[in-house]
């Protein structure tokens, strides 16, 4: 049993403080709450931040205990700054006036509006496929699609670092889940060959992403689709982080790789570039539409996306698919490249391919928490990613760039990062005195 009076705020992880021995189910989480509160007391809990104004490149954020910290914002997912764009706000406002603020039903019943149906049509056209289906959340789209397609006797072959919604969907759908080494097409082919030899009649779903958000790396999608076709497997690709924000036309790495209209099934989220919650599934398999409407728990049995959200996404899509969208992506990518090269020039390890996410490797739990605390208290707002989202002591910053960031803001962030590293190297006591001053 965990002694809740003792907490390792620098070395411990969340799972250390879950007490399985307690029969009171909520009570199992009490030690974890104590651990997080102990981290908050000394300034090394960077999570559950909140804002009191629009997301921008400079904001005032608040810690979980209500303490404010102003700074340059590299922690928000609004890659093209469309969530605060006046045209998008006006579109959402007009939709709210016309349709109300709530869908008031699932998409299988009376939750659809004409504006959501229009969004599905235009999204399919944008992606060059026959049909698209909109979900109220990106999580629901990924998880629900796998649960709809895969039955107990089928197989899922999934990248070991795929998003949690995809991992949990696979595990909930079948016991035949085969995780392959990250971005390894060879690993996929080995597994498909074995499955086909043993189960020639089984359905197989291969699951990957374009941009992996913790490493910003990109697999060879065109090659992977060819492998899947050869073995009679269906390929599903999550494009949440690059759709709209990457590529000349905004179609992401599928566009860059020439794989856009060849992938079996595309799913994604609106919450990174398109100014709203929500997600989608798109493909040339028109039979998926009603299968998802009537046979997908995360769509059939939950309220549809609201009309104002659908209007916001439609407005964002119009900007993304325009010369203005291309200009915004060009500036965003300029910011990305400047951030990556600047961090590397001062000795930080930066992962992956160019995207709006710049993962910066920090290492141990203690070092990462101290450095992040320094950043937040010195005007550089950034998200720390630690276990279980990444490996233990494989912590990193997930620096998120936006179109509106200036070079001066990026340079200021890098200078603060260097100062944080220097402060930590000088010792814990000095750092904590800086944090609590």
Residue 428: CB atoms within 10 Å: 13
CB 203 within 8 A of CB 174: no
Sequence-separated (6 or more) residues with CB below 8 Å from residue 164? none
Handedness of CA 369, 426, 8, 394 (dihedral sign): positive
Residue 164: CA count within 13 A, CB half-sphere: 5
Q: Which neighbouring-strand residues pair with 381?
A: 73
- The residue whose two tokens read 């997912």 is 77
Q: What is the pLDDT of residues 200-220, one digit of tens each?
A: 999 999 999 999 999 999 999
Residue in 135, 156, 138 with CA at minimum distance from that of residue 147: 156
Angle formed by the axes of helices 307-320 and 114-127, nearest 10°:
30
Provide the pLDDT for residue 119. Answer: 98
Question: Would the CA dihedral through 286, 287, 288, 289 be positive or negative?
Answer: positive
Residue 105, both tokens: 């039903």
pLDDT value of residue 426: 82
| Neighbour-count burial for 81-91, b at 16+ CB within 10 Å, e otherwise | bbbebeebbeb
Is residue 76 within 8 Å of residue 275, measured between CB atoms? no
Residues of the chain with pLDDT under 50: 1-5, 429, 431, 433-437
Could you give all domains of the chain from N- to C-terminal order, each with its CATH number? 43-73+324-436 (3.90.1150.10), 86-320 (3.40.640.10)
- Specify whether the CB–CB gap between 175 and 223 falls below 8 A: no
198 Cβ neighbours under 8 A, 6+ residues apart: none
Q: Show contacts of 109-114: CB within 8 Å, 24+ apart.
A: 111/303, 111/304, 112/304, 113/307, 113/310
**Residue 284 phi, psi dihedral angles, 5° rounding:** -90, 0
Measured CA to CA, the distance from residue 307 to residue 99 in angstroms comes to 7
Preceding omega of 123 cis (within 30 degrees of 0) = no
Instruction: Record the pTM.
Output: 0.93
Chain length of the chain: 437
């Amino acid at each position: 049993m965990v002694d809740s009076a003792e907490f390792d705020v620098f070395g411990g992880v969340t799972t250390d403080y879950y007490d399985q021995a307690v029969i009171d189910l909520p009570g199992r989480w009490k030690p974890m709450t104590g651990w997080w509160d102990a981290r908050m007391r000394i300034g090394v809990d960077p999570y559950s931040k909140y804002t009191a104004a629009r997301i921008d490149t400079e904001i005032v954020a608040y810690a979980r205990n209500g303490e404010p910290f102003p700074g340059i914002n590299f922690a928000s997912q609004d890659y093209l700054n469309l969530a605060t764009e006046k045209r998008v706000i006006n579109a959402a406002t007009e939709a709210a006036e016309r349709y109300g603020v709530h869908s008031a039903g699932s998409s299988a019943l009376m939750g659809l509006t004409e504006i959501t149906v229009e969004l599905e049509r235009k999204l399919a056209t944008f992606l060059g496929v026959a049909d698209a289906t909109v979900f109220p959340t990106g999580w629901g789209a990924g998880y629900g699609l796998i649960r709809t397609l895969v039955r107990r006797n089928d197989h899922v072959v999934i990248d070991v670092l795929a998003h949690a919604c995809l991992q949990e969907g696979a595990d909930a759908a079948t016991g035949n889940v085969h995780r392959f080494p990250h971005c390894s097409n060879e690993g996929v082919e080995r597994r498909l060959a074995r499955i086909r030899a043993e189960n020639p009649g089984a359905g197989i779903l291969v699951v990957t992403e374009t941009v992996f958000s913790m490493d910003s790396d990109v697999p060879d999608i065109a090659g992977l689709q060819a492998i899947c076709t050869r073995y009679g497997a269906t390929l599903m690709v999550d494009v949440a982080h690059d759709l709209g924000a990457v590529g000349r036309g905004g179609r992401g790495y599928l566009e860059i790789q020439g794989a856009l209209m060849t992938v079996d099934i595309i799913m994604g989220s609106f919450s990174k570039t398109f100014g709203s919650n929500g997600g989608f599934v798109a493909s040339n398999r028109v039979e998926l539409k009603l299968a998802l409407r009537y046979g997908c728990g995360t769509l059939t049995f939950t309220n549809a996306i609201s009309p104002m959200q659908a209007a916001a996404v439609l407005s964002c899509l119009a900007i993304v698919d325009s010369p203005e969208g291309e200009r915004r992506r060009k500036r965003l990518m300029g910011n990305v490249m400047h951030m990556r090269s600047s961090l590397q020039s001062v000795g930080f390890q930066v992962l992956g391919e160019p995207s709006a996410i710049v993962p910066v490797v920090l290492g141990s739990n203690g070092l990462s928490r101290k450095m992040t605390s320094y950043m937040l208290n010195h005007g550089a707002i950034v998200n720390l990613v630690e276990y279980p989202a990444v490996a233990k002591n494989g912590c990193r910053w997930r620096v998120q760039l936006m179109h509106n960031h200036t070079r001066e803001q990026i340079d200021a962030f890098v200078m603060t990062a260097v100062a944080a590293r220097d402060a930590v190297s000088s010792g814990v006591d000095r750092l904590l005195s800086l944090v609590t001053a």
